[in-house]
């Protein structure tokens, strides 16, 4: 039955990623992939919160399912490569650096917040 929790979370995560990406990107007149950046940092924060001490069913539903479908390493990689190929190397470097730094920062912050929530 655990797989049903993962499926349910993924069913919410994939459309949430798409809608968030489109909404964020529509507000920025830039080649920088703000939408992908936003969902990846948000997913890192959520996963950090859950890994602190959330019950296993919640980790499956929201961690594996929702965050697994919400975040996207492949799109991050593709968009970074595309920026570099199109001559926007500064944006490519910024995307790679900011994604790693902010993603890790969000995960650490999430763990700290999760410890507060679940003691």
Q: Would you give the distance in Å from CA 19 to the centre of its chain?
A: 13
DSSP 69-113: HH--HHHHHHHHHHHHHTT-HHHHHHHHHHHHHHHHHHHHHHHHH
pTM for this entry: 0.93
- Domain positions in the chain are 2-118
For 86, which DSSP code?
T
Residues 46-103 have pLDDT tens digits of: 999 999 988 999 999 999 999 999 999 999 999 999 999 999 999 999 999 999 999 9
CA separation, residue 46 to residues 65, 69, 82, 89, 105 (Å):
12, 13, 28, 30, 12
pLDDT at 26: 95
């Amino acid at each position: 039955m655990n797989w049903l929790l993962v499926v349910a979370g993924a069913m919410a995560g994939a459309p949430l990623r798409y809608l968030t990406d489109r909404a964020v990107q529509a507000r920025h007149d830039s080649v920088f992939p703000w939408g992908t950046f936003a969902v990846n940092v948000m997913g890192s924060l959520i996963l950090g919160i859950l890994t602190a001490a959330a019950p296993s069913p919640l980790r499956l539903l929201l961690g594996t399912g929702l965050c697994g479908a919400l975040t996207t390493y492949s799109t991050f990689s593709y968009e970074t490569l595309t920026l570099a190929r199109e001559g926007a190397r500064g944006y490519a470097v910024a995307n790679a650096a900011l994604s790693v730094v902010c993603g890790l920062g969000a995960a650490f912050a999430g763990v700290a917040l999760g410890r507060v929530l679940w003691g």
